Structure 1
């Protein structure tokens, strides 16, 4: 098969890097990483250029809010009968090891079903935009209903894995030390976090762990939903297809990681700045305790940061959905997403 070679100018106009096979391969590799960067930045731009996409972010925010409220209810209804009726345990010496929490599984199943449904509808909507045959948000959700069985199977599978993962993390010494270290780094004595009823802070702590676990699983399964929805495949064939797509587009994925990773690191750095604020103020703890000084300001900063993180997660879920739809198109011969066609024209060689 004939392929269009990448042309990269180096110095003089007559010096063409693709004349050497190794230079051409390197240029194509870098071009595909740049294409991934274009996919990431293009997905952010698309979110704000098409206001209807904000509907997906709003619904994602509602799912996150449900998770927090459901976990608040769960924690407030733990009594002496909880372990008997909701936990699957294994006796260990004088204690027991929790292997499964039925309430946690139910919360995860509902939340992940919501996220999976939103991602499937978003993939359908964005794919229609890419093919110049746009559809409404309502129609995108209606067409997603055809794949309800496969999407439900994926959601239940991820919910089961998330429940087991959270139990392992919460009861393992190594992971417990890691979580504790991160918690102390991000929330080291900014007293504003503690000037609310203890139940609220506990709810936010455990909800954050659940959101992180869900995000990790969703990133691992991100390619599954486009294959399922756009190729009308069941769960197992979609998982197999997602591995093939990942193999074809891993360089573009690296480009996306550069952009999205930079955003995550910036947010983490800001959180670290708040968490380490006592040390930055020479351990002047009275500043955080007195209303006449910094207590109210720190409360606004701390909880404003948490609210901003929630909004960013809702927007980020939509951005990732747009990006993965474009990455799916990258892995299909003859398809070039608009984000790449505009920014990096004629850079990528068709995938083998």
Structure 2
């Protein structure tokens, strides 16, 4: 019996000879199987189109956060995690009676750095995993179910914690090498002076020092966290082990790099705009002709401005965490279907 091309196409599409309609057989894969021509196509026009898709994903992620107020709980918890890191850093500095706990000794410095990294990454990764599970459940249930998502998260706890342990080791190694390099000794004084002035006149220096060290840890760990953003979905949404999820994250980067660039470009621009007040606050000494009497006379007003900015900036960072999680969920879905939800 011979079979023509039309028959083959009908069978491959799920056509049943006993029915006059097609049977829909969804394709759901993330590896090398992508059915979206936009993802696989090249060319300047297509690249511009794909960047636009990334911008749309960023916009829809922000809209999702404000449309579903329960998601702000994830931002609130992320803020508590950062606050815990902040308090821990201050206590360690107070213990060392210095602006860095490394004065306690090299081994102690390694131990404290790893402990902070492990606690932070474990908490953030578990929170991200719970957020992704919630977003997936919301698609089927129509609303966020925090209790149900936590019960689902239990089955992925060890995989998520294992990944957190790995990147905590990597983050500790990066932080230790970079902060003990000659380059760091030249960059940090400039970096600190930019962030300190004029905050140093109104806020205890140990508080600013703790903030700076946490900020540096976040910058150093940002590349690792970027890997986390696309590894955790493989663990919690596809039930993959750490190695398979990591390979999936590389595949997502390779297939949707332009969309990811467009999406993160929008977040970067927003972050830059939010950070602009710090630039103007830092110009205060120059604007008043370095008249330090001004700072004592207007101590209360300037202290209020500085504290409001610092609190506002950290609130923004915690909101970005939730938006990033939403964006990753949308990119994950887009990579599989070619559809922006």
> TM-score band (shorter)?
0.7 to 0.9
**Which residue of 150, 154, 169 maps to 1:141?**
150
Larger helix share, 1 or 2: 2
> Which residues of structure 1 form unaligned runs of 5+?
7-21, 89-97, 339-352
Larger mean CA deviation between 259-268 and 195-204 belongs to 195-204
Q: Which SS does the other structure have where 2:314 is aligned? A: helix
The Cα RMSD (Å) is: 2.7
Which residue of 2 is the match for residue 69 of structure 1?
87
Q: Which SS does the other structure have where 2:339 is aligned? A: coil
Cα separation, 2, equivalents of 1:46 and 1:150: 28
**Which residue of 204, 217, 233 maps to 1:226?**
233
Which residue of 2 is the match for residue 93 of structure 1?
none
Residue 302 in 1 paired to residue 309 in 2? no
Q: CA deviation at 1:177?
A: 2.4
Cα separation, 2, equivalents of 1:77 and 1:48: 42
Residue 117 in 1 paired to residue 133 in 2? no
Instruction: Using structure 2 for the length normalisation, give the TM-score.
Output: 0.81
Kept after mapping to 1: 8 A contact 2:55/2:262: yes
Which residue of 2 is the match for residue 337 of structure 1?
340
Q: CA deviation at 1:335?
A: 5.1
Kept after mapping to 1: 8 A contact 2:196/2:208: no
Q: Which SS does the other structure have where 2:155 is aligned? A: helix
Q: CA deviation at 1:129?
A: 3.0
Residue 173 in 1 paired to residue 188 in 2? no
Describe the shift of the 1:215–1:230 C-alpha distance in structure 2 as closer, same or farther (beyond 3 A): same
Q: Which SS does the other structure have where 2:229 is aligned? A: coil
> How many residues of Structure 1 are paired with residues of Structure 2 in the alignment?
305
> Which residues of structure 2 form unaligned runs of 5+?
1-8, 14-34
Kept after mapping to 2: 8 A contact 1:112/1:214: no
Counterpart mapping for 1:13-28 below 5 A: 25-28=43-46
Residue 87 in 1 paired to residue 106 in 2? yes
Instruction: Using structure 1 for the length normalisation, give the TM-score.
Output: 0.79
**Which residue of 323, 327, 337 maps to 1:323?**
327
Cα separation, 2, equivalents of 1:36 and 1:262: 14
Counterpart mapping for 1:249-328 below 5 A: 249-290=256-297, 294-328=298-332
Cα separation, 1, equivalents of 2:111 and 2:151: 31
Kept after mapping to 1: 8 A contact 2:96/2:104: no
Q: CA deviation at 1:251?
A: 1.2
Kept after mapping to 2: 8 A contact 1:105/1:163: yes
Kept after mapping to 2: 8 A contact 1:34/1:252: yes
Q: CA deviation at 1:287?
A: 1.2
Which residue of 1 is the match for residue 21 of structure 2?
none
Which residue of 1 is the match for residue 245 of structure 2?
238
Q: Which SS does the other structure have where 1:221 is aligned? A: helix
Describe the shift of the 1:79–1:199 C-alpha distance in structure 2 as closer, same or farther (beyond 3 A): closer
Which residue of 2 is the match for residue 33 of structure 1?
51
Q: Which SS does the other structure have where 2:289 is aligned? A: coil
Cα separation, 2, equivalents of 1:278 and 1:148: 50
Which residue of 1 is the match for residue 193 of structure 2?
184
Q: CA deviation at 1:79?
A: 7.2
Q: Deviations over 1:124-180 (max 9, x none)?
A: 111233456545022112211111111011111121122222222322121332333
Cα separation, 2, equivalents of 1:176 and 1:131: 53
Cα separation, 2, equivalents of 1:315 and 1:322: 11
Residue 213 in 1 paired to residue 220 in 2? yes
